[in-house]
Chains A and B, each alone.
Chain A
Amino acid sequence: MRYALKRILLGVPTLLAMFTAIFVIIRVVPGDAAAVILGDQASATALEALRVELGLNQPLSQQYLGFLGGLLQGDLGTSLVTKRPVLEEALRVLPNTLELAAASIIVGLALGMPLGIYAAVHRNAWPDYVGRLFSLVGLSLPAFVSGILLLLAFAIQLRWFPVIGTSQGGGLRERFLGVALPALNLGIIMSAYVARVTRSSMLSTLGEDYVRTARAKGVGPSTLVLRHVLTNSLMPIITVVGLYFGTLIGNSVLTEIVFNRPGLGRLILGALNTRDYTLLQGLMIIFASFVVLANLLTDLAYAAVDPRIRTA
């Protein structure tokens, strides 16, 4: 418990640094942000009004303090286009994005770990080569490319899934069909990372003395692999899942665009197309918070798996 608290407090400066970085990047828009947003044809009064609305007429330090103060109160600003609070816009579609992320992590682990274990046990035999080739293919597929191919094959040609992933409303069946293909897309890519690290982690554990001892005293092959080797190979797998979270966010943005699924990714695309800088900034802050949260969960998972970390 003390460890958890300490770890949570450590996340605060990281979060603050990320927020500051996002603030700075958004503010380096070359030239006048108001002119960029409104275009060349805008009148002087419209430009001035927008500057006041964005707070661009204030000194930078004041803008920064206002930005941080707003964040403390959970205020991410107001969308320039819809004039609605950014947080409200994001919360409306957040369940869809979380649903997709959870489903794809399940697919990624359920597919990747058995593949990695199988490849490690059959090292340098053909299952190992097939597994490694699969991993490399997975690592080389940009998420939108695999998404488009899945969409073409299973939704457009075979018609097993709806072309547009409407997860809003509808029964459980519609919901499942809507999330299945995007989750499969993200899960397959993730399983490539998971399979690869599971394999190498298992290989190094398989070489340990205690594994030989266990084998010598007659532990059966499946118990040996699953209880003695796998449990001691979990740390790198947790690390990869934690590290992969950032990539998962990027890939889920692309996947939501391809499958036309309402979510944070689609919001980002909209913000980019309409030059809605406050929405863009707010979404980046939400994503940054997720990353810090994922890092926190990863560290807590370490502690759960390895008692030495808890007590240290």
Chain B
Amino acid sequence: MNQARRLPELLVPAALVVATALLGLAVSSYLQAYFLDTLIKVAIVVGLYVFIGNSGVVSFGQISFVALGAWTAGVLTVPRDQKLAIMPGLSHFLVTHSVGNLGSLALAAAVGGVAAFAVGLPLMRLSGLAAGIATFAVLEITNNLLTYEQSIGPGQNAFSSVPQTTGIWQAAIGALICVAVAYVYQRVRFGRMLRATREDPAAAAAAGISIYRQRLLAFALSGALAGFAGGLYVHLQPLGVGDLYLDLTFITLAMLVVGGTGSLLGAVVGALALNGIYSFFSAATNTVNVLGWNLKVPAGTADIVLGVLMTAVLVLRPSGITGGREFSLPRRRRRVADLEKARVPT
């Protein structure tokens, strides 16, 4: 009974993903690229949500696991005869070993998860700003190493010749897998324990919950989803190290916060809303037809609109579009609203 009542928490975000995929099938292949990109962003943001949303600790490092996943899936699927042409410094083991599409996605998830676990082992002892800066340091180090380590990837060049297997089905199923994993995690014991530490660390610790252990688990799971999303991403378009760095970190974090950090629905809505608007204005640089009107905007408008919109949403509605709540049917009782954590009265 309880489980059935909670199902909309999973079904509504999943339905949003499916609707996006179906819309993507209906449009021209030129416009479909935007829908594919949006589905990948959903996967990444849901990956972020698993750690940040449930623990309440901000991490700037998750994109490094996206990058590691992309590198893993990319290096292992470039056709053997082209490997050395694209990646002249590649180590012998990586030149001689290749895997298929699904294998590369599974390995990307595994590498992301293992890397996040290894990084989290020391880092999850930190909290607050120290944790934020330490995870930022992880992003910087990963970016630096991937840029200059030619033996594990293309270095400063973009990944070309990776088979482009991420079509609308693979993207949609990938995003759905992320949503389902996030839902299961937040419903099981571990997820609830972590959410308890988010609401009141002292009370949670008094109830016997190890904050460190729960955060580490979520960090590793989030890293695995991030790696998986990175695998999907590299199979979509040729990625370079610069595509998986600061801009992606900020944009995905902003999606999470604008949607509403505390809920899975918020992660999905934030990614769909911001990426949808961004895609619309990007497409409008080449004229789009809106209800019979032809709209054309100058290049760069998309970035500015997105910047204004993100700032405005945060100023006017700081708890995000969903307010951090999951979808619930109207006749049911609302969950107790988050207590305002006012620090400075105005």
A-B interaction: no
Task: List residues of B whose CB falls within 8 A of some A CB.
Answer: none
Task: List residues of A whose CB falls within 8 A of some B CB.
Answer: none
